[in-house]
Chain A
Amino acid sequence: MKIREKHLRKLFYIVLILLLLTTSVGRVVSLPFFLFIVSGRSMQPTLYPGDIVLAISGSFKEGDIVIWCTSPIYCVAHRVEKISGNIVYTKGDANPIEDPPISANMVIYRVIGKIPNYLWLTPLLCILIYLSYRKIYVTLKLRPWSFKRGEPLSIAATIVAVFILIDILVLSLTPLPVGSITYYMPKPIVELKSLKRINCDVAINYNVRFTTITGVSTCAIYVSNRTYGCLWRVINGRNILIQIPGEAYWYAYSKGINRLNLALNVSLKNGWLIGNYTIFLKWKKPTINVEGFSVKIHNPNPILLNLTIRILYFNYSVFGTPEHVMTQNLGLASIAPYSTWSYVIKEKSAYAYVELEYFFMGEKVFERKRIVFKYEK
């Protein structure tokens, strides 16, 4: 019986030493199998503090939980979010943001399973409590005098030695992560994704994290020394559609200014954002197309285009020279932004001229297009 107990004890020590070696040496050298005790809460609900993680060395893919070490005392078990070449992006399931990117060489193991803390901690604690109780009971109740035989300071020295050992072991195996506490803070992040002009409006697309856009408290357009208010609409809590007033466009158009400055004070769920954006304008002359007997004038600008149109009808005289027949004044036509105005000219002569007068970037422009009704034989 005693021999069996002795063998069992030996086996227990061997297993304990092997486990200790696996957990400590495996951090320095890549072993085929590795055990890791979870100390943080970053992987909850997958891994809890005290869980023993079983890991093997080998390849890994996105979605796997891997163990990477920056130093023998600092190892992390986090999930692979993205692999981009030799760079691996990991993130704790409970962490709001990713870890700093690491080299693939730093990943030592891939997690294949876990032993939940209650499966090994509870029996261990029960055994320890039982053994301590038995020892204390025997020592204090039955044989307190036995200590008289011991050398002075022997117990005190043992106690101190045991606690020094615990201290060294725990301090060397517990990682103290570097970096500020604010790194993993789920701080609101708002980044500009795109700023596009859709006809007269401006669509601002933001990359928003840990917050949402609730409204806009200030929306102003600055053109040269003038300020205009603007209307806004929040879409999906991350995009804003700004309605730029026609006056602002008109002023920029009339002065030949190629950009507008947009000042926004965006209210967020947590805080606010002050943004100043430049909207570039590309003014184009209206395009005049003659298709058959119809004239089509397209306004390519975000302003109301006012132009004076008149049609001059001509015939050929007997000498072949142009002979003015009549003038048709169509008066002032207003073409809405980005729209087309068309007019079908009635056949009243051999040919006609469509004359347009408008202001382009502060300058008066005169344009003429010829329409031929009857070709000379």
Chain B
Amino acid sequence: MKNRDRYFVISTSLIGFVTGLTSFLTTILPMYNVSGVVKGIVSLNWYYIVAFGKTASFSILDAISFLTIIVNIANFFVISSSITSITFTLRMRESPLIYELLFGSSLVHIMYSGLLLGLFRVLSREVVALNTVYREITNAGILFAGQSRVSETIFSKIFFTVIPLPLILGFTYLVFSSILFMKYLRQKSYT
């Protein structure tokens, strides 16, 4: 393997590592802050909400947390593939496994990015519902139970901009790994 190719493999692996790590951080860092009569922090993988002085659990958020676990399995696979490729390259071992792993993991990441974005959209839709005034009309009169406000955290603003960061990184990783894989295929056809 030429030095130039080795650097390219390492840089692709590093992009993969950053991509996997970013996606993982996206799932564990708090995305929404809830304040008011309902207080708490919500991230994709976990949440802590205290509603009217009681810790509350919500089946929809539990389901999102559960589904995020498989996104994280994919993220760990991307991270471990990148580490494996870096280790292989640094040990001067040339194996087709590097190209296969990087290309395969980049495809897996793109596939799971869709799921991640979908889960984030569901989470946003549900959490935004907490941005409300708790007012109810019963036979006792008009009940005002206060107000809760939902605000995005800095992580939400960073990771989920117009084009979400995990998706940008995922595409970059896919482009790099594809170039690498094409090179490998070309090499294979020559030999």
Contact = CB atoms under 8 A, between A and B. Distances in A.
Interface in A198-253: 206, 210-211
Interface string B106-140: 01100110010000001000110110101010111
Interface in A14-41: 39-41
A272 B127 CA distance: 25
Which one of A163, A191, A273 has the greatest number of beta carbons of chain B within 10 Å? Answer: A163
A96 B139 CA distance: 21
A270 B57 CA distance: 19
Contacts of A274: 141-142, 144
Given A145-B95, A167-B112, A186 B51 contact: yes
* Interface size bracket, B side: 35 or more
Interface of A: 39-42, 44, 49, 94-96, 139-140, 144-145, 147-148, 150, 152-160, 163-164, 166-167, 170-171, 174-177, 179-182, 184-192, 206, 210-211, 264, 266, 268-276
Interface of B: 37-38, 51-54, 56-63, 66-67, 70, 73-74, 77, 84, 87-88, 93, 95-97, 100-101, 103-105, 107-108, 111-112, 115, 122, 126-127, 129-130, 132, 134, 136, 138-146, 181, 184-185, 188
Contacts of A275: 140-142
Contacts of B95: 144-145, 147-148
A175 B104 contact: no
A152 B182 CA distance: 11
Given A166-B70, A182-B130, A156 B96 contact: no
Given A163-B77, A185-B56, 6 more contacts: A95-B57, A152-B188, A163-B74, A176-B122, A180-B129, A274-B142
B145 A187 contact: yes
Contacts of B87: 140
Given A39-B63, A176-B122, A210-B52, A273 B144 contact: yes
A39 B66 contact: yes
B57 A94 contact: yes
A170 B70 contact: yes
A270 B63 CA distance: 29
B185 A181 contact: no
A158 B65 CA distance: 27
Contact of B66 (A49, A179, A182): A49
Given A181-B61, A270-B37, A187 B104 contact: no
Secondary structure of the B side of the interface? helix
A193 to B, nearest CB: 9
A187 B147 CA distance: 11
Contacts of A264: 141
B100 A154 contact: yes
Contact of B143 (A40, A49, A155, A271): A271
A177 B138 contact: no
B67 A40 contact: no
B96 A270 contact: no
Nearest to A144: B95
A192 B138 contact: yes
Contacts of A159: 77, 100-101, 104-105, 107-108
Given A145-B95, A155-B97, A181-B58, A174 B52 contact: no
B185 A152 contact: yes
